[in-house]
Amino acid sequence: MDTMGAVAPIEIAQAREAPLSASDREAVFETRGLTVSYGKAPAVSNVDLPIYRNLVTAIIGPSGCGKSTFLRSLNRMNDLIPSAKVDGEVLYHGQNIYGDGVDPVEVRRRIGMVFQKPNPFPKSIYDNVAWGLRVLGMKDDLDGRVERALTQAALWDEVKNRLKKGAFGLSGGQQQRLCLARAIAVEPDVVLLDEPASALDPIATTKIEDLMHELKNEYTLVIVTHNMQQAARVADMTAFFTLERTESGGHGVLVEYDETPKIFTQPDDKRTEGYVTGRFG
Amino acid sequence: MSARVNAITSTPALRARRRLGDRFGDVFLHGLTGAAAAAAGALLVAIAWKIFDIAHPAISKYGFAFVTRQGWDAIHSRFGALDLIWGTLLTSFLALLIATPVSIAIGLYLSELAPRGARTVIASLVELLAAIPSVVLGLWGILVLGPFVGQDLGPWLHRHLGFIPLFDGTPQNAGILVAVLVLTIMIVPITSSICRELFLGVPTELEEGALALGATRWEMVRGVILPYTRTGVGAAVILGFGRAVGEAIAVTQVIGAGYGIHWSLFATGDTLASKLAEQYQSATTKIQTASLVYLAAILLVISLLVNLLAQVIVRRFSHQRTGGS
């Protein structure tokens, strides 16, 4: 497969199961007129996007198009940035997570996240996974839960004899799978992945991608990636964001959202076509 | 190969000149920095040597028994340091016991919880507390804190916690407790600003990782921030201890120059440093002077040990921060 040329056609994995037909899909998230601003400048503007259960949804687009900002608005991680302001609604199973009386801690318990840079805690491998379980009070059969999470993250065989060793002794790819294990150990509903493989080598990247195919049976996955091949390989649905230039700078907008094969082979919008065929900008 | 190397430099003359300049600069830098480093080490040795030299008459007369003997009788030239070592360790340890949680709390508030605009203002106010000259703080101790302890805080503690030996006895306007509180005020700005820096140094991605799991802020602090910074906090605490052990003036002003070894915080007392400050000018005999310098030597040894301990802790445990086993 030639991935060197900028205009090389992007292959869609044939082995992948076909996504649920449109009528069988159940929306986990539905954003309505979602705008996230830092200070006065909107980073991403007026997004209406449904995200479906047990599918992998990829968010692609050029740098600065607000894809990470959008992702972080789905579990209220933007709350941590003091200047961030959210307008519009993010409906999670029909309930606006920015509504009155919603506890962001409860939101994050259901919607886990894996970050761009592997960020294991300065604890042992075991405690990295067990910490979240302890915090959330899921202490029954702790060993079993840790083992299951590490197995699901395809890390168990590599670490089972060194569970008490520090997590920083692991390679970058192993650390990222540990972070994935940590996220799924607490049995979330959704896992958000913010460019989870961008700091990893190709072999580690392949492992993470293979995992996503496994995990979508149990979880709803949303992945931000700047790697189009990756989106094509892992995602059932793909959303393309771009940067819309304005007088005061620019902000991200959702251009097109559809099943992955359609986005990559016959997109409706010229901008999508330009981006996926490498003629962007 | 050599032709390519030569191509980098221009002419032999320029090369020679630069080599000379470089060599001179190199030698100069090396000498200057080396001398500065050596001077620091040499000064430490020189001061320590001189202290022990001046204390020598007392050391040879009393020997190590000086350290374990009580009482300070200038008339009969019978001197012992045990009271003062007790006073030093008790006041410093209790000051630390109060200052450590307060400092961690201030550090956490300023790094994690305070409204962003208020952070720098409060942080500099806390640090300004350290700018109060210790003699001024001691004066405030005499005029304000002492009477407060003697009239209000002391009686209250005695009434409610009198069954604890620490709060046995009669509260006075000067004594161990006032000294402990003054020392606490002196330690807190140092340790709290170190704690704040440590907490700010915790990588954002670690904090986000904890919060993304559904941890509350408190759980994140307990599970990630404190474990990540515990070595540094430990070193900060010991640094504060070193500060408390050596403080002379303010303690002298409020501790009440008492004798004996008591658990009661309402009793008057003395520390190694306060004894030195009180009596050095008025020492009448050579052996009294030498005995006071013996106290200085003991203080020096304690301070050096405390600082060494801090260094050992940092070296021994800092690898835990990077997650090593």
Q: What ipTM was predicted for this assembly?
A: 0.84
Confidence of residue B283 (pLDDT cuts 50, 70, 90): confident
Confidence of residue A281 (pLDDT cuts 50, 70, 90): very low
Query: What distance in Å separates residue B105's CA from the closest CA in chain A?
Result: 20
- Asked whether residue B212 falls in the same domain as residue B293, the answer is yes
At B89-134, the pLDDT tens digits run 999 999 999 999 999 999 999 998 888 888 889 988 988 888 889 8
Q: How far apart are CA B164 and CA A84, in angstroms?
A: 52
Q: Which domains does chain A have, with CATH numbers?
A: 25-119+189-276 (3.40.50.300)
Q: How far apart are CA B227 and CA A123, in angstroms?
A: 9
Q: With CA atoms as reference, report the closest residue to B164 among B148, B150, B177.
A: B177
Residue B38, pLDDT above cutoff 90: yes
Phi/psi at A117 (5° precision): -100, 130
Domain that residue B43 falls in: 2-54
CB contact under 8 A, B206 and A182: no
* Chain B residues closer than 8 Å to A186 by CB: 213-214
- pLDDT value for B281: 86
Residues B267 and B176 sit within 8 Å (Cβ to Cβ): yes
Query: What distance in Å separates residue B239's CA from the closest CA in chain A?
Result: 25
Considering only the beta carbons, identify the residue of B209, B219, B223 that sits closest to A115: B209
Confidence of residue B264 (pLDDT cuts 50, 70, 90): confident
Residues B69 and B62 sit within 8 Å (Cβ to Cβ): yes
Considering only the beta carbons, identify the residue of A82, A117, A183 that sits closest to B116: A82
CB contact under 8 A, B223 and A131: yes
- Asked whether residue B22 falls in the same domain as residue B130, the answer is no
CB count within 10 Å of CB A104 equals 18
**Chain position carrying tokens 């579990």:** A75
Between A11 and B95, the more confident residue is B95
Q: How far apart are CA A189 and CA A179, in angstroms?
A: 16
Burial of B287 (C-beta count, 10 Å sphere; 0-12/13-18/19+): middle
Q: How far apart are CA A87 and CA A31, in angstroms?
A: 10
- Asked whether residue B19 falls in the same domain as residue B34, the answer is yes
Query: What distance in Å separates residue B199's CA from the closest CA in chain A?
Result: 14
CB contact under 8 A, A112 and B213: yes
CB contact under 8 A, A106 and B210: no
- Asked whether residue B285 falls in the same domain as residue B155, the answer is yes
Considering only the beta carbons, identify the residue of B223, B323, B325 that sits closest to A135: B223
Residue in chain B closest to A165 (alpha carbons) equals B325
Boundary (domain end) residue, out of B35, B54, B73: B54
Q: How far apart are CA A160 and CA B246, in angstroms?
A: 51
Find the chain A residues whose C-beta atoms sit closer than 8 A to any C-beta of B.
75, 77, 80, 82, 105-106, 108-110, 112-113, 115, 117, 119-124, 131-132, 135-136, 164-169, 179, 182-183, 186
- Asked whether residue B82 falls in the same domain as residue B6, the answer is no
Residues 6 or more apart whose Cβ sits within 8 Å of residue B264:
B165, B166, B167, B168, B169, B176
What is the C-alpha end-to-end distance of chain B, expressed in Å? 48
* Chain A residues closer than 8 Å to B320 by CB: 122, 166
Considering only the beta carbons, identify the residue of B211, B212, B321 that sits closest to A122: B321
Residue in chain A closest to B116 (alpha carbons) equals A82
CB contact under 8 A, B213 and A182: yes
CB contact under 8 A, B223 and A166: no
* Chain A residues closer than 8 Å to B207 by CB: 80
- Asked whether residue B17 falls in the same domain as residue B164, the answer is no
Maximum C-alpha span of chain B: 91
Bridge partner residues of B240 (DSSP): none
- Asked whether residue B178 falls in the same domain as residue B311, the answer is yes
Q: How far apart are CA B216 and CA B203, in angstroms?
A: 17
Mutate to test the interface with A, among B111, B206, B207, B213 (most CBs of A within 10 A): B213
- pLDDT value for A26: 86
* Chain B residues closer than 8 Å to A179 by CB: 209
What is the C-alpha end-to-end distance of chain A, expressed in Å? 25
- pLDDT value for B107: 93
What is the domain count for chain B? 2
Considering only the beta carbons, identify the residue of B205, B213, B323 that sits closest to A167: B323
The SS3 call for residue A188 is coil
Q: With CA atoms as reference, report the closest residue to B72 among B250, B282, B302.
A: B282
DSSP run (H or E) holding B160: helix B154-161
Q: How far apart are CA B139 and CA B137, in angstroms?
A: 5
CB count within 10 Å of CB B89 equals 16
Residues A196 and A165 sit within 8 Å (Cβ to Cβ): no
The SS3 call for residue B291 is helix
- pLDDT value for A1: 41
Residue B157, pLDDT above cutoff 70: yes
- pLDDT value for B70: 87
CB contact under 8 A, A119 and B209: yes
Confidence of residue A128 (pLDDT cuts 50, 70, 90): very high
The SS3 call for residue A119 is coil
Residue in chain B closest to A107 (alpha carbons) equals B214
CB contact under 8 A, A164 and B212: no
- Asked whether residue B191 falls in the same domain as residue B138, the answer is yes
Residue in chain B closest to A182 (alpha carbons) equals B213
Residue B69 falls in which region: left (phi positive, over 0), alpha (psi -120 to 50) or beta: beta
- Taking all residues of chain A, what is their mean pLDDT, rounded to a whole number? 87
- Taking all residues of chain B, what is their mean pLDDT, rounded to a whole number? 87
* Chain B residues closer than 8 Å to A165 by CB: 325
Q: How far apart are CA A26 and CA A108, in angstroms?
A: 20
Residue in chain A closest to B117 (alpha carbons) equals A82
Q: How far apart are CA B177 and CA B141, in angstroms?
A: 11
**Chain position carrying tokens 């996503």:** A212
- pLDDT value for B319: 54
Residue A18 falls in which region: left (phi positive, over 0), alpha (psi -120 to 50) or beta: beta
Confidence of residue A148 (pLDDT cuts 50, 70, 90): very high
Residues 6 or more apart whose Cβ sits within 8 Å of residue A87:
A33, A34, A35, A36, A37
Torsion angle in degrees (nearest 10) through CA of A182, A186, A192, A193: 10
Q: Extract the tokens encoding B195.
A: 């704690």
- Asked whether residue B124 falls in the same domain as residue B34, the answer is no
Residue in chain B closest to A82 (alpha carbons) equals B116
- Asked whether residue B47 falls in the same domain as residue B170, the answer is no
- Residue A116: what residue type? Q
Handedness of CA A101, A106, A107, A108 (dihedral sign): positive
Phi/psi at B40 (5° precision): -60, -45
Mean pLDDT lowest among A104-113, B5-14, B220-229: B5-14
Residue in chain B closest to A168 (alpha carbons) equals B323
Half-sphere exposure of B108 (CA within 13 A, CB side): 18
- pLDDT value for B318: 63
At B56-85, the pLDDT tens digits run 999 988 888 888 888 888 888 888 889 899
- Asked whether residue B251 falls in the same domain as residue B229, the answer is yes
- pLDDT value for B112: 86
* Chain B residues closer than 8 Å to A132 by CB: 213-215
CB contact under 8 A, A186 and B214: yes
Considering only the beta carbons, identify the residue of A80, A165, A183 that sits closest to B211: A80
DSSP run (H or E) holding A192: strand A190-194
Between B25 and B183, the more confident residue is B183
Q: How far apart are CA A31 and CA A38, in angstroms?
A: 19
- Asked whether residue B227 falls in the same domain as residue B308, the answer is yes
Bridge partner residues of A241 (DSSP): A254
Provide the CATH number for the domain around residue B268: 1.10.3720.10
Question: C-alpha angle B129/B134/B139, rounded to 5°?
Answer: 100
CB contact under 8 A, B325 and A112: no
Confidence of residue B206 (pLDDT cuts 50, 70, 90): very high
Residue A241, pLDDT above cutoff 90: yes
